[in-house]
Amino acid sequence: MIAGYAMEDAVHAFAEKRYAIFPAQDPSVFAQFQSAIRQSAEAYLGRPIDALDVLHHYVTPAEINKIRLKIYNDLNKRKDWKIAYYALATDTLKSLFGPDVSIQIKLNLSIQIPEDESSMLLLHTDTLSGQSPFECVLWTAVTDAFDSNAMYIFDEKSSKKLYQQLPSYQHKGMQQLFEDNRDNAQFINVPAGACVLFSSTLFHGNRVNCTDKTRISLNCRFKSLFSPEYAAIPHERVTGTFYEPLFLSPVTKIGLEYDDAIAF
């Protein structure tokens, strides 16, 4: 489902599969992100580039992390990035999370240049690292994602199966778990400007990019303000250090202002 933005379709797909694919709701905001990334890359390189998907013509794998950090820092310096990123899927996010929403503190950037093995994020779920199962990831393709430069995702049923298999892969690792279940992986081939909204409970990842194009994508997480967070061990992926409030409903504002500490 890419052609046009229909919030109902996205919400329905999400409810059914725990992920939804749709074009950015506000294409002009997407264009601003794309342009900002290009400007930042050109500032780092000190010269113009032909296109973002040929970034590998200008940088080596050894340099890729430096340019990624430069663009990441530039994007996160923009005061309006949180509202802008939300605008890529306003209606869907509002429908799923309601008026009280938290957003991840930082906007993440992935750059997968051809044949680069140093930037891979193998099979994982966000919840396995301590993030809230009430969270969703909004992933946006900045360049076309296709073939081996596309991310993959496992649907609800397959993800549950992978969870159950995890302990028996202690010594074999996640890559082997992926190889043994790759038939169930769904590769997300989408054009630049497409968004994928998926639950943090779903397994996903990427592979070595064997295409001749660089893939660039953005990702950021949302959850409803008061939804539970993983608390069994102390860690930083909680409100204040990982998420922060983006929108508060009028009722929530009243509740937060209410002071019942009256001394008699």
Partner 1 sequence: MPSPSEKIIGYVTPRPFGPFAMPVPAQNSCLREYAAQMGFTYALPQCEHIFKNCHVQLFGTLNSAPDGGHIVMYSSYMLPDVASDLEKLLEIQRAKNLTFHFVLEKKMMACPEDVRKMLKVRRIAAIARHNNALKKTILQHV
> What is the contact surface with partner 1 in residues (CB under 8 A)?
61-62, 65, 117-122, 124, 128-130, 166-167, 169-177, 230, 232-237, 241
User: Minimal distance in Å, beta carbon 161 to partner 1?
Assistant: 16
Would the CA dihedral through 93, 94, 95, 96 be positive or negative? positive
Q: Is 162 exposed, middle or buried (0-12, 13-18, 19+ CB in 10 A)?
A: buried
Q: Is 77 or 171 the residue whose CB approaches partner 1 more closely?
A: 171
User: Minimal distance in Å, beta carbon 231 to partner 1?
Assistant: 11
CA dihedral 32, 207, 236, 14 (to 10 degrees): 70
- Beta-carbon count within 10 A of 16 CB: 11
240-255 burial, b if ≥16 CB within 10 A, otherwise e? eebbeebbbeeeeeee
Amino acid at 48: P
- Beta-carbon count within 10 A of 212 CB: 12
User: Minimal distance in Å, beta carbon 197 to partner 1?
Assistant: 22
User: Minimal distance in Å, beta carbon 118 to partner 1?
Assistant: 4
Q: Are 230 and 132 in contact (CB under 8 A)?
A: yes
User: Minimal distance in Å, beta carbon 21 to partner 1?
Assistant: 25
Q: Is 97 or 178 the residue whose CB approaches partner 1 more closely?
A: 178
Q: Is 34 or 200 the residue whose CB approaches partner 1 more closely?
A: 200
Q: Is 92 or 112 the residue whose CB approaches partner 1 more closely?
A: 112
Q: Is 82 or 237 the residue whose CB approaches partner 1 more closely?
A: 237
